[in-house]
Structure formats: structure tokens, C-alpha cells
Amino acid sequence: DTEVTQTPKHLVMGMTNKKSLKCEQHMGHRAMYWYKQKAKKPPELMFVYSYEKLSINESVPSRFSPECPNSSLLNLHLHALQPEDSALYLCASSPGGRGGFGYTFGSGTRLTVV
């Protein structure tokens, strides 16, 4: 298995809803990432988990809450989002460690906040 699987592919939520995005990989990668991408813009790094520990939080608002239950799973919990949070949310993984080249991206969850 050489894929990163993200669910759901599309999500529409109201500003008072609570929802979660899920990401899964079975490549044995030990680093996992969440990115946010707006149309025609580059992916912006949100969070980095390394060996199941949060190592980087790029000043993301607390309405986004990441969770790494185990080395294969990464969740992003969403609460009280704003319309400007509508974007493509990408999960990625990499082997981790200094010798770990290569990134694998999932196909993303397209989130619309209404």
C-alpha cells in the first residue's frame, strides 16, 4: 500500500457544527502532516506529527485540533469554523528521520463552511 487515504472527499458544514477529517497510511511512515490549500495557492503547512507527537503547530487557530491516535492515523477535528476556512485540506506522510526522503500526499478533503 503506497497511498495516503483521506476521508471524506467532500464536506459541507455549518459554523456551529463539529466534524472530523481523517487520514490513514500503511507505509510505515512516522511523520504525518496537515496542509491547507486555497485555489491556485500553494499548500500551507498547519501541523506536523513526528513519531505520533505534535512537533509543529504553525499558529493555527484553536478551532482546528489535530490528533494522532497511532502511527497510521491522523485526524483533524473541526469546531466553530468560519467561511474563510473553506479550502482543500491535504494530509501527507513521509518516512521521518534524516534519511527519510519523499512525501506522499492524499487527494484531500474539500471543505465548505456555510
List residues near another protein by CB under 8 A. 31, 33, 37, 40-43, 45, 48, 50, 56, 88, 90, 92, 94-103, 105-108
Q: Which is nearer to another protein, 53 or 98 (CB)?
A: 98
Minimum CB–partner distance for residue 65 and another protein (Å): 19
Minimum CB–partner distance for residue 75 and another protein (Å): 18
Residue 11 to residue 65: CA distance in whole angstroms = 17
Q: Which is nearer to another protein, 12 or 56 (CB)?
A: 56
Minimum CB–partner distance for residue 16 and another protein (Å): 28
Residue 72 to residue 57: CA distance in whole angstroms = 20
Residue 72 to residue 43: CA distance in whole angstroms = 22
- CB 6 within 8 Å of CB 88: no
Residue 83 to residue 9: CA distance in whole angstroms = 18
